[in-house]
Amino acid sequence: MKIESHIAHFTNPLYLQSGRILEPYDIAYATYGELNEDKSNCILVCHALSGSQYCAGEVNDKRGWWDNLIGENKAIDTNKYYVICTNSLGSAFGSTSPISQMYPTTKHYRLKFPVITIFDMIKAQRILLNSLNITKLHAIIGGSMGGMQTLSFAIMYPNIANRFIALSTTHATSPFVIAFNKIMSEAIRNDPNFDNGNYDLTYKPILNGLKVARMTGFLQYITKNTMQKKFGRNYVNHDGLFELFGRFEIERYLEYNGDNFANTFDPMCLLYLLKAISIYDLSYGFIDLCDALKHIKNKLYLISFSGDNMFFTEEMQEIKNTMDKAGNGSLCSHYIVESDYGHDSFLVECNKYADYLQHILK
Amino acid sequence: MKIESHIAHFTNPLYLQSGRILEPYDIAYATYGELNEDKSNCILVCHALSGSQYCAGEVNDKRGWWDNLIGENKAIDTNKYYVICTNSLGSAFGSTSPISQMYPTTKHYRLKFPVITIFDMIKAQRILLNSLNITKLHAIIGGSMGGMQTLSFAIMYPNIANRFIALSTTHATSPFVIAFNKIMSEAIRNDPNFDNGNYDLTYKPILNGLKVARMTGFLQYITKNTMQKKFGRNYVNHDGLFELFGRFEIERYLEYNGDNFANTFDPMCLLYLLKAISIYDLSYGFIDLCDALKHIKNKLYLISFSGDNMFFTEEMQEIKNTMDKAGNGSLCSHYIVESDYGHDSFLVECNKYADYLQHILK
Chain B positions touching A233 (Cβ under 8 A) are: 172-175, 178, 281
Alpha-carbon dihedral angle through residues B303, B305, B308, B311, given to the nearest 10 degrees:
20
Q: Phi first, then psi: give them for residue B314, nearest 5 degrees.
A: -65, -35
User: Scanning every residue of chain A, which has its alpha carbon at the shortest distance from the alpha carbon of B20?
Assistant: A242
Whether A144 shows a pLDDT value over 80: the answer reads yes
The DSSP annotation for B252-264 comes to: HHHHHHHHHHHHH
User: What pLDDT sits at residue B73?
Assistant: 97
Residues A149 and A195 in one domain: no
Are B8 and B107 in a shared domain?
A: yes
Looking at the fold, whether A113 and A30 belong to one and the same domain comes out as yes
Collect all residues of chain A within an 8 Å Cβ-Cβ radius of residue B173: 233
* Mean pLDDT over the full length of chain B: 97
Statement to judge: residues B229 and B135 lie in one domain: no
CB contact under 8 A, A208 and B186: yes
pLDDT at B204 (0 to 100): 75
| Domain containing residue B32: CATH number | 3.40.50.1820
The answer to whether A218 contacts chain B (CB < 8 Å) is yes
Provide the chain A residues 256-275 that lie in CB contact (below 8 A) with chain B: 271-272, 275
Nearest CA in chain B to A272: B244
The pLDDT assigned to B53 comes to: 98
State mean pLDDT over B321-340. 97
Peptide bond into A104 cis (omega under 30): yes
Contact A236, A248 (CB under 8 A): yes
Same domain, B224 and B237: yes
Q: Is B214 exposed, middle or buried (0-12, 13-18, 19+ CB in 10 A)?
A: buried
- Cα separations in angstroms, A98 against A112, A221, A350, B188: 7, 25, 32, 28
Annotated catalytic residue B288: no
pLDDT at A332 over 80: yes
Query: Does the pLDDT at position B310 exceed 80?
Result: yes
Q: What is the DSSP string of A193-261?
A: TTGGGTS-SSSPPP-HHHHHHHHHHHHHHS-HHHHHHHTTTPBPTTS-TTSTT--BHHHHHHHHHHHHH
Cβ of residue B211 closer than 8 Å to a chain A Cβ: yes
pLDDT tens across B96-119, in order? 999 999 999 999 999 999 999 999
Q: How far apart, in whole angstroms, are the C-alpha atoms of residue B350 and residue B187? A: 32
A229 and A117 inside one domain: no
What is the C-alpha separation between A242 and B279, in angstroms, rounded?
Answer: 9
Q: Is residue A304 a contact partner of residue A313, using CB atoms and an 8 Å limit?
A: yes
pLDDT band at A350, cuts 50/70/90? very high
Average pLDDT of the residues in A54-59: 95
Task: Determine if the pTM surpasses 0.90.
Answer: yes
pLDDT over threshold 90, residue B205: no
Kindly state whether residues B132 and B243 are assigned to the same domain.
Answer: no
Chains A and B form CB pairs within 8 A to the count of 155
B305 in Cβ contact with B339 (< 8 Å) = yes
What CATH code is carried by the domain that includes residue B246? Answer: 1.10.1740.110
- Residue ending a domain, among A251, A275, A299, is A275
Domain boundary residue, one of B228, B256, B275: B275
Domain boundary among A244, A275, A306: A275
Phi and psi angles of residue B130, each rounded to the nearest 5 degrees, phi first: -60, -40
Q: Mean per-residue pLDDT for A307-318?
A: 97
B196/B91 same-domain check: no
Contact assessment for residue B86 and residue B28, using Cβ atoms and an 8 Å cutoff:
yes
Residue B219 forms contact with A (CB below 8 Å): yes
User: Can you give the pLDDT at residue A77?
Assistant: 98
CA-nearest of B178, B187, B102, B123 to A246 is B178
Per-residue pLDDT, A206: 79
Cross-chain Cβ contact B219/A180 below 8 Å: yes
Q: Is B283 helix (H, G, I), strand (E, B) or coil?
A: coil
User: Which residues, in sequence order, are CB contacts of B229 under 8 Å at separation 6+?
Assistant: none
Query: Helices B208-221 and A208-221 meet at what angle, rounded to 10?
Result: 0
Per-residue pLDDT, A203: 75
pLDDT in tens, B21-75: 999 999 999 999 999 999 999 999 999 999 999 999 998 899 999 999 999 999 9
Whether A49 shows a pLDDT value over 90: the answer reads yes
B236 plus B325 within the same structural domain: no
The DSSP secondary structure of B140-204, one letter per residue, reads EEEETHHHHHHHHHHHHSTTSBSEEEEES--SB--HHHHHHHHHHHHHHHT-TTTGGGTS-SSSP
Which of left, alpha, beta for B152 (phi over 0: left; psi -120 to 50: alpha)?
alpha
Bond prior to A205 in cis (omega within 30° of 0) = no
Q: Which helix (H) or strand (E) holds B213?
A: helix B208-221
- Which pLDDT value is given to residue A204? 75
B29 and B91 in one domain?
yes
How many domains would you assign to chain B? 2
Chain B CB within 8 Å of residue A196 CB? no
Contacting residues of B for A120, CB less than 8 Å apart: none
* A268 shares a domain with A286: no
Chain A nearest-CA distance from B250, in A, is 6
What domain range is A240 assigned to? Answer: 177-275
Show residues of chain A in contact with B178, CB under 8 Å: 233, 248, 250-251
- Same domain for B213 and B337, yes or no, is no
Catalytic residue numbers of A, as ranges: 144, 308, 343
Q: Which of residues 45-104 of B touch A (CB under 8 A)?
A: none
Neighbours of A234 (CB within 10 A): 12
Q: Which of A115, A176, A231 sits opposite B242 (nearest CB)?
A: A115
Helix B208-221 × helix A175-189 angle, to 10°: 160
